[in-house]
Amino acid sequence: MDVKRVKDYIHWLYYQYLLVTCSYVLEPWEQSMFHTITVTVVAMVVYTAYVFVPIHVRLALQFFSQIFGAQPDGA
């Protein structure tokens, strides 16, 4: 992919974001507040998923391995 196509694709994605969220009708200061809040919420969701999902997957695997009769690692 050349740089122009990537740039056009990013512009298209941003345009889709504006249309889906209807933030194109906001004033500039409202848009900046909306984008700041949106980026903050997305960052918190990504961080939470990064920290807590592996722990829960490990616990779920341990739980199901005990149910289905697999031997624990220490035995």
Q: Is residue 75 part of a domain?
A: no
pLDDT in tens for each of the 75 residues of the chain? 688 999 999 999 999 999 999 999 999 999 999 999 999 999 999 999 999 999 999 999 999 998 887 666 655
Range of the domain at 41: 3-67
What pLDDT is recorded for position 13? 96
Q: Is residue 38 part of a domain?
A: yes
**How many domains does the chain fold into?**
1
Residue 12 exposed, middle or buried by CB count within 10 Å (0-12, 13-18, 19+)? exposed
What pLDDT is recorded for position 70? 62
Q: Is residue 74 part of a domain?
A: no
Q: Is residue 73 part of a domain?
A: no
* Contact by Cβ (8 Å): 34, 26: yes
